[in-house]
Amino acid sequence: MQVKSNLGPVGPLPRPRRQPPTVRLRRLASELRRLREDAGLSQTEVAEKTDVNLATLHRIETAKAKPQLRTLNALLDAYGVTGDRRAELVALQREAKQRSWLQSFEAGLTDQYTALISLESEAEQATNYESLFVPGLLQTEDYARAVIRAVLPTATDAQVEDRVAARMRRQALLEGETPLRLWAILDQAVLCRTVGSETIMSDQIAHLAQQGSRPHITIQAIPFSAGAHPGMLGSFIVLKFAPDNPDVVYIDSMAGDLFLDKEADIQRYNYMYEHLRAIALSPAETLALLASSCEDH
């Protein structure tokens, strides 16, 4: 028997939603793993010493599960952690599942999208390459609505509006005293493709020019004259966090969304981004291209 999901008919019943790990949970997992290694203990030895199940310990150290307070205290006792350091880790455990405004949207969003929003909200910097769309953080409401309707043709009006509202809410990251630092590189095709209507595109490009003049937002375009380049393989985002929190690469594709945090993957995408920056127009040249594109639309 088939059931209907938010976006249409699917096969088997969906699995229960699994909340994506927050940056705090990832940091807690990393700190506990480091403390165990510094103590010279294997996971098996810790399991025997604390009566914490070995499988549970593995899930805690890989950020797949939040430790209960009594479990955390048992681990910290085993590692000899006291004082301010212990208080810091207990605070991380308490805050590890904070979801803030995202909770009100999660019912209509995919696990992958909620994971992106959650990690993005805790990042200090995002480097984003886009080959087909304006980055979500820089989209106008009308452009976002037109894009979502196009890529999710079976979505209801209510589902589209929920997505639009979530996308607009994300953009609050670019405001405030300590906004997210955003560096966006776009292929020129993004500016030439008419999404929604000529009016929507004209407004969108004018919005890009306005945002690109802000001190914490940098926009570069790769002109058609640059020819083939590594970004033609697809769009990606590298989220960068405070020290001791590893970067995360997010890739959105038809085959599914991916989150990569292995050091080799992060280095590869950071290197690719540097190459794209080198072949792109300068920010000033990009603003001139935006002005020209706006006139064309």
Arithmetic mean of pLDDT over the chain: 85
Bridge partners (DSSP) of residue 127 are 183, 238
pTM of the model: 0.72
pLDDT per position as a tens digit, 17-50? 444 456 677 778 888 988 999 999 999 999 988 9
Mean local confidence (pLDDT), 181-199:
96
23-95 and 102-296 share one fold: no
Cβ(36)–Cβ(58) below 8 Å? no
In this prediction, residue 93 has a pLDDT band, given cuts at 50, 70 and 90, of confident
Q: In the chain, where are the structural domains located?
A: 23-95, 102-296
User: 23-95 falls under which CATH superfamily?
Assistant: lambda repressor-like DNA-binding domains (1.10.260.40)
Which CATH architecture does the domain made up of 102-296 adopt? 2-Layer Sandwich (3.30)
Mean local confidence (pLDDT), 150-164:
92
Cβ(144)–Cβ(168) below 8 Å? yes
pLDDT per position as a tens digit, 237-260? 999 987 767 788 999 876 667 888
- pLDDT at residue 98, as a whole number: 56
pLDDT per position as a tens digit, 195-241? 999 999 999 999 999 999 999 999 999 999 999 999 999 999 999 98
